[in-house]
């Protein structure tokens, strides 16, 4: 029953397909992708221009059209990004006008990371050729991404502007420096503000577990493809604690055993947002 519930949810959200990128865990669509490891979302748009008698002007118009298309596609991908459990940013935006305004502001700050202009034969055009432009835009979804000044974690959770929080340095002794959760191929959909519970439905970790200023600086969660890559992340530190998940709940929350929940509940590493989920 639980499995069928989650599969149905995936199909409802299922414009995404998972791509095992070399450097990160990605969810891809025909027009863009969400990179959960590196903390960004990007989309590509194409555009052309009518004949204007000036090649330079036509190229400018085509690039503007491509950018507009990329922005629209980026917005659609952003709407589908999960905030907590199966709740998406689109759901948040419909119920919170201030959050919707912040999200749109983040979108306006999208960074152009690629641009290509080419000319193609077109016998219907007065010039005999038509311009085609392609533009790719990127928006950060977590503070780990530095491509844009704002990110969707901050916009959706209404976090303070980035500062230099008094987070504790990564320890070099036997103190646990981070928690790595091994999902062991359990079916989990990455989210910006995930929740971790134990088998008795007690909350072990959520956005309330980390101070807002620390969340604004480091984020709540880090995703890796596997344990080996998780250990190599800077947030992992020298002494990560690896915990195996029991499974994933029907509403997309990571489930730990009661014993493991008690083990990590009071760890300072969690209060610093030093949590990594190995997805594969």
pLDDT for 66 equals 98
Contacts of 41 (CB under 8 A, 6+ apart): 32, 33, 34, 35, 74, 77, 78, 81, 138, 139, 141, 152
Per-residue pLDDT averaged across 13-35, rounded?
70
Residue 161's pLDDT band (cuts 50, 70, 90): low
User: ∠ CA(191), CA(160), CA(163), 5° rounding?
Assistant: 105
Give the residue ranges of DSSP H helices in 80-172. 89-95, 97-108, 152-157
pLDDT tens track for 224-237? 999 999 999 999 99
pLDDT tens track for 49-95? 999 989 999 999 999 999 999 999 999 999 999 999 999 999 888 88
Q: What share of the chain has pLDDT > 70, as a percent?
A: 87
Per-residue pLDDT averaged across 189-206, rounded?
96
Per-residue pLDDT averaged across 129-141, rounded?
96
pLDDT for 173 equals 54
Q: Which helix (H) or strand (E) holds 133?
A: strand 129-140
CA dist 238 and 183 (Å) reads 21
Q: What share of the chain has pLDDT > 90, as a percent?
A: 71
pLDDT for 138 equals 98
Residue 266's pLDDT band (cuts 50, 70, 90): confident
Query: Structure pTM?
Result: 0.84
pLDDT for 23 equals 61
Domains of the chain: which residue ranges? 16-157, 178-278
pLDDT tens track for 211-264? 999 999 999 999 999 999 999 999 999 999 999 999 999 999 999 999 999 999
Q: Which of 10-14, 129-133, 185-189, 195-199 has the lowest mean pLDDT?
A: 10-14
């Amino acid at each position: 029953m639980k499995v069928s519930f989650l599969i149905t949810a995936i199909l409802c959200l299922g414009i995404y397909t998972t791509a095992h990128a070399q450097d990160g865990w990605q969810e891809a669509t025909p027009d863009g992708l969400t990179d959960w490891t590196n903390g960004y979302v990007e989309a590509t748009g194409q555009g052309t221009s009518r004949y204007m008698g000036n090649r330079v002007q036509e190229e400018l118009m085509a690039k503007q059209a491509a950018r507009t298309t990329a922005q629209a596609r980026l917005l659609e991908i952003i709407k589908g990004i999960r905030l907590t459990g199966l709740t998406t940013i689109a759901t948040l935006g419909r119920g919170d006008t201030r959050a919707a305004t912040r999200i749109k502001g983040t979108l306006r700050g999208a960074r152009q990371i690629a641009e290509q202009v080419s000319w193609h034969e077109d016998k219907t055009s007065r010039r005999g050729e038509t311009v085609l432009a392609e533009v790719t835009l990127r928006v950060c979804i977590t503070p780990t991404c530095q491509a844009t000044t704002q990110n969707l974690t901050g916009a959706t959770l209404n976090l303070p502007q980035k500062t230099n929080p008094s987070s504790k340095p990564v320890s070099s002794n036997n103190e646990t420096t981070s928690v790595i959760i091994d999902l062991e191929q359990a079916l989990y959909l990455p989210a910006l503000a995930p929740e971790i519970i134990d088998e008795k439905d007690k909350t072990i970790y959520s956005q309330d577990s980390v101070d807002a200023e620390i969340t604004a600086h480091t984020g709540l969660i880090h995703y890796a493809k596997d344990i080996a890559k998780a250990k190599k992340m800077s947030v992992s530190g020298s002494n990560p604690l690896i915990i195996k998940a029991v499974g994933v709940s029907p509403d997309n929350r990571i489930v730990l055993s009661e014993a493991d929940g008690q083990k990590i509940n009071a760890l300072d590493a969690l209060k610093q947002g030093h949590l990594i989920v190995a997805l594969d």
